[in-house]
């Protein structure tokens, strides 16, 4: 038996904020943002559009495209760093509740921007191990809720949204073939939430406001991201006897155009092999890869038999990717 993606779906908030609009409240400009990141817009969730709400809507879209009903599901995995509740319940538990289905298994993954890549491999394992037949893997983020809108270095980067994949048994010769999943915990402080855990609890009247938001050391993250982009693609190709000519698309985490451009040049893989859509959605962390896959599917770009690599990299520091035959 082979396990793989049956369908993909997405949900994006209606509120769309352009660089020009953002520059009215943040000390920046459209030219600066585009030249440094490739980002032109981002979608921002309302108070009612919680992480679990967006994840549920993406799940419904993916199920509809698969021709399946919610009763067909056996397991739900949600990758997110912006859950509805800080520690528990898991956002996946709330998606199960929202879908109003039986008491199937569900859990969250907190692997930041690599979360969806982790989720696909875990979903494959559940299917091949016989635990589940149909698994829903979702990447969902409400990053606007943890962004410091007074910090122009990070405020310009992030957006909200959710993407989902329905996984199940697929035809031999297709599916999720291989995954590389890695961590460099020594870089934990390059991209993190400084306050809120048991090691650094929030102390009323003492904790600085800025410590309540996402922190990023931009240069360290950039250097890490370029390196691991090259490393993951190289390892997946070597492990599976592939060349750049064999690959139809590389779908990277949509963090920053400059990161992808530098990785393309270092790996000597043409930039047009990389599918990019950060211009519209900005950085949506674990949602970025499934959002890209859904957009590609909607455009008719994904054909059966295509060889696709995904590449994720983010807080943790985590990194990894998947080799998929569509």
Which positions are annotated as active-site residues? 113, 253, 283
Instruction: Indicate the pairing of strand 191-192 with strand 215-216.
Output: antiparallel
CA distance 158 to 281: 8
Cis peptide before 172 (omega within 30 of 0): no
**The two three-digit tokens of residue 303, written as one number:** 């054909």
- Joined together, the tokens standing for residue 145 give 């809720």
DSSP element (H, E) containing 56: helix 51-66
Using omega within 30 degrees of 0 as the cis cutoff, is the peptide bond preceding 49 cis?
no
Distance between CA atoms of residues 58 and 165, nearest Å: 9
Cα 292–chain centre separation: 9
- Surface-to-core class of residue 314, CB atoms within 10 Å of its CB (0-12 exposed, 13-18 middle, 19+ buried): buried
- How long is the chain? 326
Look at phi and psi of residue 197 and say left if phi exceeds 0, alpha if psi is from -120 to 50, else beta.
Answer: beta
Kindly list the distances between the CA atom of residue 288 and the CA atoms of 27, 199, 251, 257, 291, in Å, as whole numbers in the listed order.
26, 29, 9, 13, 5
Spatial separation of the C-alpha atoms in residues 33 and 278, rounded to whole Å? 12
281-292 in b/e form (b: 16+ CB < 10 A) is bbbbbbbbbbbb
**73-96: b (≥16 Cβ within 10 Å) or e:** bbbbbbbbbbbbeeeeebbbbbbb
Residue entry with tokens 């760093």? 81
């Amino acid at each position: 038996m082979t396990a793989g993606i049956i369908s993909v779906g997405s949900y994006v908030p209606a509120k769309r904020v352009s660089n020009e609009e953002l520059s009215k409240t943040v000390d920046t400009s459209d030219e600066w943002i585009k030249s440094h990141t490739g980002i032109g817009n981002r979608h921002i969730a309302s108070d009612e559009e919680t992480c679990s709400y967006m994840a549920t809507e993406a799940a419904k879209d993916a199920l509809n495209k698969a021709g399946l009903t919610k009763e067909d599901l056996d397991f739900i995995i949600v990758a997110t760093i912006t859950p509805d509740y800080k520690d528990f319940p898991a956002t996946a538990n709330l998606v199960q509740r929202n879908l109003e289905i039986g008491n199937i298994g569900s859990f969250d993954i907190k692997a930041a921007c690599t979360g969806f890549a982790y989720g696909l491999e875990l979903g494959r394992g559940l299917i091949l191990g016989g635990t589940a037949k149909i698994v829903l893997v979702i990447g969902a983020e409400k990053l606007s809720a943890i962004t410091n809108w007074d910090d122009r270095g990070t405020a310009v980067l992030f957006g909200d949204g959710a993407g989902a994949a329905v996984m199940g048994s697929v035809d031999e010769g297709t599916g999720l073939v291989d995954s590389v999943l890695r961590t460099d915990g020594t870089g934990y402080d390059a991209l993190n939430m400084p306050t809120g855990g048991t090691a650094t609890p929030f102390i009323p009247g003492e904790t600085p406001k800025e410590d309540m938001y996402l922190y990023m050391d931009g240069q360290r993250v950039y250097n890490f991201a370029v390196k691991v982009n090259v490393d993951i693609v190289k390892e997946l190709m070597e492990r599976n006897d592939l060349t750049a000519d064999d690959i139809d698309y590389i779908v990277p985490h949509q963090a920053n155009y400059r990161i992808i451009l530098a990785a393309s040049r270092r790996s000597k893989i043409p930039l047009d092999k990389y599918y990019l859509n950060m211009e519209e959605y900005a950085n949506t962390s674990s949602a970025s890869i499934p959002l890209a896959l859904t957009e590609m599917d909607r455009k008719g770009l994904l054909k059966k038999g295509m060889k696709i690599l995904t590449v994720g990299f983010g807080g943790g520091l985590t990194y990894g990717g998947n080799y998929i035959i569509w």
